[in-house]
Amino acid sequence: MTDPLTIIFGGLLVIFLSSVIQGLTGFGFALVSVPIMIFILSPKVVVPIIIIHGLIINLIILFEARKWVKLKRIWPLIIAGATGIPIGTYLLIALDANILEILIGSVIIPFAITSLAGFNKTIRSEKFAFAPVGITSGLLASSTSLAGPPVILFFINQGIEKQSFRANLVAYFTVLGIVAIAAYMIGGIITTEVINYALWFLPATILGTMIGIKLAPKLSEQLFRNIALIIVIIAGLLSILSGIGIL
């Protein structure tokens, strides 16, 4: 069993760095933090903690980036994502976490690599495409807290401009976070242990997010896109390695 002080100090560091990335790009908090945090805490504790902190971060970013949010464009994605939440909550309770980790990594890595290589095919019927993308993202959100990859890859494929990308992604994650927390409360997943650790890690979350927001305007469009894809690939690799027991 990991020492409580190691959990707290290790968690503070991981969550601070992950929050900086989220504040900077509008995503990456769960992608970076979950594969590392599961070394010191159970996935059933880590996932709700990350969902709670992710919601706090997204609310902070959303306030700053609200003028770039286009709800008319992303409402089908939000509805589809919310639909996948109950399924993912059930999987978190019933399914072996290792299977989920291997599945996530195996799906997202090939898509991220092809996007990084420059292969993109813009989808004209976004509203129809949002259904499978959103449902997959919502399922992953509540089962692993890794809602980002399907939506990030889709937004990159569509060539969405940085500010709009960041703002609409955060708006989507905010709604998903609210729905996921409600589902967790119904499912009894938010325990006293989860709440205690969530409170301990809160200062790191707020500080990291504010630093990331300050740095965001300095990021070019191309660098933003490359960072997004690299984070997704690394998260996918860590997810697979963890799932097969190497990490």
Q: How does pLDDT run across 37-82, given as a tens digit for each residue?
A: 878 888 889 889 999 999 999 999 999 888 899 888 888 888 998 8
- SS3 of 220-243: CHHHHHHHHHHHHHHHHHHHHHHH
pLDDT tens digits, residue range 19-45?
Answer: 998 888 888 888 788 878 878 888 889
Inside any domain, residue 239? no
| 160, 168 contact by CB (below 8 A) | yes
Any domain includes 113? no
Q: Cα–Cα distance between 24 and 21 in angstroms, integer?
A: 5
In a domain, 230, yes or no: no
For residue 115, tell me if it sits in a domain.
no
Q: Which of 53-62, 82-91, 106-115, 173-182 has the highest mean pLDDT?
A: 53-62
Alpha helices of 145-220 — where are they, by DSSP H? 148-157, 162-187, 192-215
How far apart, in Å, are the Cα atoms of 88 and each of 8, 62, 154?
27, 25, 20
Q: Whole-model pTM? A: 0.78
Asked whether residue 180 is domain-assigned, the answer is yes
Q: Is residue 136 part of a domain?
A: yes
Angle at 73 between CA 72 and CA 77, to 5 degrees: 110
Residue 238 placed within a domain: no
Whole-number pLDDT of residue 86: 86
- Which residue from 165, 172, 169 is spatially nearest to 223, judged by alpha carbons? 165
Task: Please give the single-letter amino acid code of residue 93.
Answer: I
Structure confidence at residue 131 as a pLDDT band (50, 70, 90):
confident
| Cα 19 to Cα 123: distance, rounded to the nearest angstrom | 31
Structurally, how many domains does the chain consist of?
A: 1
Q: Which residues constitute the domain of residue 89?
A: 4-98+120-219
Question: Does residue 56 fall inside a structural domain?
Answer: yes
- Which helix (H) or strand (E) element contains residue 147? none
Instruction: Give the Cβ contact number of residue 49 at 10 Å.
Output: 25
